[in-house]
Every structure is written in structure tokens, then in C-alpha cells.
């Protein structure tokens, strides 16, 4: 029978939180595989997925689950020398290689043959039955691993790299400010990788922004459900605030004020939805609103932690990740964002906080913010969603 062995990632180093980590990972895997007929069991060092369903499909899903160091597809046999030998030979014969090594570990110390001796025994068996191969203990092309336990023995030869990181949810929840751009979905991915369970907030300004732009954001969320099977998206109607800014604020400060409004609304939504931090796609120096002076003036409207996973990455590094996670092609679709539609020609690069506050006093933004928060639309997006119409 085939069985998938899951080795834990960084969580092995967090001894105090070990059980929380393992249970979270267990629940995440269970949820991700809920459409498959699987039996999942766990212990302190491993998790096991037994199934008769399509192994490759399951492995592909597991590859995106954070907290997994590596995945191994093993053959499970009874702990009985003859059975192990027959299967080890059969497994080795199914791949071609020139050099190899056998490595045995015994969880069951009652097994009568030592690990070293057993490796030698299987090695001789392979040498006798497979042509033109030799042992290389230092740098083998093919490593056959045998784990002997009391009842069963696992035989395998290839470790598939897992996604690493921490299981989504162990760090608590965060609210991701998700635009249709390249940076914020990458930030969401990186935050999830650190164990933050994300919810998303998107600011739209209909009729200045279209339904297509909103669908693009939904599609991005759907893409992120590879890592977190169900994600909540909050859509904030930002039109009245943007129009008020356009009417009342000096063009050079429009973006600064707009972003201060976004932060204020996001903070309220964050608290309403039991999130512990905001996450966004700001990157130092990328645009006028992302100079350190701008960030300070914008950030000063809130005292919650703001995580900026791509703050210190180059655009090309961000694009590499976006390509890898499949968000890039969606992000470059040409739909307008609420940040771009009222874009002034010369936004201030080093805004002054007193000036920003004075500008804001020209309209009753508190009321507009309360209405925007109250009218937020909440959508649940799952990995079973059909593609959104974009």
C-alpha cells in the first residue's frame, strides 16, 4: 500500500508550541484534503496520509501547505524481512540509477538485525539483482530508505520538498490590504507562510472602478486559496471618500490622505474581525507614498502592527515570487485601481504631518469612514470556486 509521510518544517524547533503547531497543521491538511478519501494520523515527528486515491494529486495539494518540510511517498509493508526485501527490490527496480546507498532506521529496536547490517543485506540484494550498479555511500544517485517500525515498515526513495514555513493560523489572523497589483498578493503569500491566517480588504470606487477590477481581486484571492482553503474578502465602497478627497484636498496630498483613510478603515475592520495586524504590499521607495517619510505620516493614523513582507525586496524579486505562486498573470491584467484613477501628477514625496491633518479637517471624514465600514460587503472565497469572470 502507498502512504504519504509528512515531515514537519520549522515547527520542530519550537518545542513549547509543538502540539499547537502539529494540531494546526493536522487540521489544515484535513481541510485541504476534504474531497479525498484519506486516513490521516500524526505523531510528534511525522504525519501519515493513507489513501487509495490519486497520490500525485494529493502530493500536489500538500506541496502548498505551510509547515511541511518534506513529503515522501512510501510503500508500507509488514515488518517482516522477506516482505521488506521483496518490496525494496521492486521499488529499486522501478527507477534507473548507477550508484546507490541503502539507509535503514529502526524505531523498533526489537527487530533482530542492526540497521547497518540490514542496509548491507538489502544493498547486496540490489547488487545481485540489478545490473551495472554500485554502492556510493557519500554521494549516491539513488538513496533507498527503510524505516522499520514495530508493525509496519516504510520503504521510500525520494523526498519532495515541502513549502516550509509555519502552519497557517498559528500566528493568529491578519488583514491583508489587497489591491489588484503585483505586490499585495505576494505579501499575502509571505504572511501566510509565517503562519498568519489572512482575511483581505479591497477598496473599490464604483463607478470609477469596474466590476472587472473587483473580479480580478476575487481571482487573486482564489489563487491564494491554494495556501488557505477558504479566505474572507471584505470589499469597502470607497467612492464617497475618494470624491471628497478629490474635491477638498490639495492634489499633492491626495494620495497621502487617501492612504491615511484606507489605514483608518482597515484598522476598524481588523478589530471587528479579530485580526492582530495589517499586512500590505508597500515596498520602501517604490512610489511617492512609500518613502519612509510618507510611510511615517500614513502609518501614524493607527497603532496596530503593520506587516510589510515585501518592504525590502526589489520589484524583480517580488515578480519572481508572483510568478511562482501564479498571481502575476492576473495582477498584470489592465484594470484600474482606485489608487490610479485620481492620481495627481506630482504627489508629495516628503509629506508633513501637520499639513496632512489640516487638509483632513476640511471635511467630515469620520462620518464617511463609519458609513464605509458599515456598508462593507463580505465574501467568502474557497478553493472550489470556479474562475471569476475577468
* Interaction site with ligand ATP (CB under 6 A): 177-179, 181-184, 201-203, 280-282, 286-287, 289, 337-339
Question: Choosing among ligand ATP, Mg ion, none, which partner's interface includes residue 233 (Cβ < 5 to 8 Å by kind)?
Answer: none
Spatial separation of the C-alpha atoms in residues 40 and 43, rounded to whole Å: 11
Question: Choosing among Mg ion, ligand ATP, none, which partner's interface includes residue 51 (Cβ < 5 to 8 Å by kind)?
Answer: none
Of 119 and 331, which CB lies nearer to Mg ion in the complex structure?
Answer: 331
Of 153 and 327, which CB lies nearer to ligand ATP in the complex structure?
Answer: 327
C-alpha cell recorded at residue 241: 471618500
Of 163 and 191, which CB lies nearer to ligand ATP in the complex structure?
Answer: 191
Of 25 and 182, which CB lies nearer to ligand ATP in the complex structure?
Answer: 182
Of 68 and 279, which CB lies nearer to Mg ion in the complex structure?
Answer: 279
* DSSP-derived secondary structure for 48-76: EEEESS-HHHHHHHHTT-TTEEEEEEEEE
Question: Choosing among Mg ion, ligand ATP, none, which partner's interface includes residue 215 (Cβ < 5 to 8 Å by kind)?
Answer: none
Of 107 and 332, which CB lies nearer to Mg ion in the complex structure?
Answer: 332
- Give me the least distance between CB of 179 and ligand ATP, in Å please: 3
State residue 196 phi and psi, 5-degree precision: -85, 125
Question: Choosing among Mg ion, ligand ATP, none, which partner's interface includes residue 332 (Cβ < 5 to 8 Å by kind)?
Answer: none
- Give me the least distance between CB of 62 and ligand ATP, in Å please: 28
Q: For residue 28, list its beta bridge partners.
A: none
Do the Cβ atoms of 234 and 221 come closer than 8 Å?
Answer: no
Through-space distance between the first and last CA atoms of the chain, rounded to whole angstroms: 44
Q: Measured at CB, which residue is nearest to Mg ion?
A: 181
Query: Nearest 5°: CA angle at 12, between 8 and 17?
Result: 110
- Give me the least distance between CB of 189 and ligand ATP, in Å please: 12
- Give me the least distance between CB of 156 and ligand ATP, in Å please: 41
Question: Choosing among ligand ATP, Mg ion, none, which partner's interface includes residue 281 (Cβ < 5 to 8 Å by kind)?
Answer: ligand ATP
Q: Measured at CB, which residue is nearest to ligand ATP?
A: 181
Of 81 and 291, which CB lies nearer to ligand ATP in the complex structure?
Answer: 291
C-alpha cell recorded at residue 176: 491583508
Question: Choosing among ligand ATP, Mg ion, none, which partner's interface includes residue 28 (Cβ < 5 to 8 Å by kind)?
Answer: none
- Give me the least distance between CB of 163 and ligand ATP, in Å please: 22
State residue 197 phi and psi, 5-degree precision: -85, 120
- Give me the least distance between CB of 202 and Mg ion, in Å please: 11
- Give me the least distance between CB of 254 and ligand ATP, in Å please: 12
- Give me the least distance between CB of 341 and Mg ion, in Å please: 11
Question: Choosing among ligand ATP, Mg ion, none, which partner's interface includes residue 338 (Cβ < 5 to 8 Å by kind)?
Answer: ligand ATP
Of 168 and 313, which CB lies nearer to ligand ATP in the complex structure?
Answer: 313
Can you tell me whether residue 80 is helix, strand or coil? coil
Question: Choosing among ligand ATP, Mg ion, none, which partner's interface includes residue 167 (Cβ < 5 to 8 Å by kind)?
Answer: none
* DSSP-derived secondary structure for 91-147: HHHTS--SEEEEEEEES-TTSSS-HHHHHHHHHHHHHHHSTT-EE-SSS-SEEEEEE
Spatial separation of the C-alpha atoms in residues 140 and 100, rounded to whole Å: 5
Do the Cβ atoms of 22 and 42 come closer than 8 Å?
Answer: yes
Query: The cell 504572511 sits on which residue?
Result: 191
Q: Which of 343, 326, 344 is nearest to 383 (CA)?
A: 326
- Give me the least distance between CB of 331 and ligand ATP, in Å please: 7
Site residues (CB under 5 A) for Mg ion? 179, 181
Question: Choosing among Mg ion, ligand ATP, none, which partner's interface includes residue 309 (Cβ < 5 to 8 Å by kind)?
Answer: none
C-alpha cell recorded at residue 331: 495582477
Of 169 and 309, which CB lies nearer to ligand ATP in the complex structure?
Answer: 309
Spatial separation of the C-alpha atoms in residues 258 and 331, rounded to whole Å: 22
Spatial separation of the C-alpha atoms in residues 362 and 261, rounded to whole Å: 14
Residues in the chain: 390
C-alpha cell recorded at residue 165: 514555513
Amino acid at each position: 500500500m502507498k502512504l504519504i509521510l509528512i515531515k514537519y518544517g520549522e515547527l520542530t524547533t519550537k518545542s513549547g508550541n509543538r502540539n499547537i503547531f502539529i494540531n494546526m497543521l493536522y487540521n489544515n491538511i484535513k481541510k485541504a484534503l476534504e474531497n479525498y478519501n484519506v486516513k490521516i494520523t500524526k505523531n510528534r515527528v511525522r504525519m501519515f496520509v493513507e489513501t487509495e486515491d490519486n497520490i500525485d494529486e494529493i502530493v500536489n495539494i500538500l506541496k502548498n501547505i505551510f509547515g511541511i518540510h518534506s513529503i515522501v511517498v512510501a510503500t508500507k509493508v509488514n515488518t517482516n524481512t522477506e516482505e521488506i526485501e521483496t518490496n525494496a527490490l521492486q521499488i529499486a527496480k522501478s527507477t534507473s540509477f548507477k550508484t546507490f546507498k541503502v539507509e535503514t532506521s529502526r524505531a523498533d529496536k526489537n527487530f533482530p538485525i542492526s540497521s547497518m547490517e540490514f542496509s548491507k543485506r538489502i544493498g547486496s540484494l540490489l547488487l545481485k539483482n540489478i545490473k551495472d550498479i554500485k554502492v556510493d555511500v557519500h554521494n549516491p544517485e539513488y538513496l533507498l530508505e527503510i524505516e522499520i517500525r514495530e508493525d509496519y515498515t516504510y520503504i521510500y526513495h525520494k523526498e519532495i520538498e515541502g513549502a516550509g514555513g509555519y502552519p497557517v493560523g498559528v500566528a493568529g489572523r491578519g488583514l491583508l490590504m489587497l489591491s489588484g497589483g503585483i505586490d499585495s498578493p505576494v505579501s499575502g503569500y509571505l504572511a501566510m507562510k509565517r503562519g498568519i491566517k489572512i482575511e483581505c480588504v479591497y477598496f473599490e470606487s464604483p463607478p470609477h472602478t469596474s466590476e472587472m477590477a473587483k473580479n480580478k481581486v476575487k481571482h487573486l484571492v482564489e489563487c491564494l486559496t491554494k495556501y488557505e482553503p477558504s479566505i474572507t474578502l471584505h470589499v469597502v465602497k470607497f467612492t464617497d471618500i475618494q470624491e471628497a478627497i478629490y474635491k477638498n484636498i490639495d492634489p499633492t496630498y491626495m494620495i497621502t490622505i487617501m492612504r491615511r483613510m484606507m489605514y483608518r478603515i482597515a484598522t476598524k475592520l481588523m478589530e471587528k474581525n479579530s485580526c492582530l495586524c495589517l499586512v500590505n504590499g508597500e515596498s520602501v521607495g517604490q512610489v511617492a507614498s512609500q518613502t519612509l517619510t510618507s510611510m511615517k505620516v500614513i502609518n501614524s493614523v493607527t497603532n496596530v502592527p503593520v506587516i510589510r513582507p515585501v518592504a525590502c525586496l526589489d520589484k524583480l524579486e517580488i515578480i519572481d515570487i508572483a510568478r511562482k505562486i501564479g498571481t502575476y498573470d492576473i495582477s498584470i491584467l489592465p484594470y484600474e485601481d482606485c489608487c490610479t484613477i485620481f492620481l495627481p501628477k506630482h504627489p508629495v514625496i516628503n509629506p508633513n504631518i501637520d499639513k496632512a491633518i489640516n487638509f483632513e479637517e476640511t471635511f467630515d471624514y469620520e462620518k464617511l469612514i463609519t458609513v464605509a465600514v458599515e456598508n462593507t460587503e463580505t465574501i467568502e472565497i474557497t478553493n472550489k470556486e470556479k474562475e471569476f469572470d475577468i
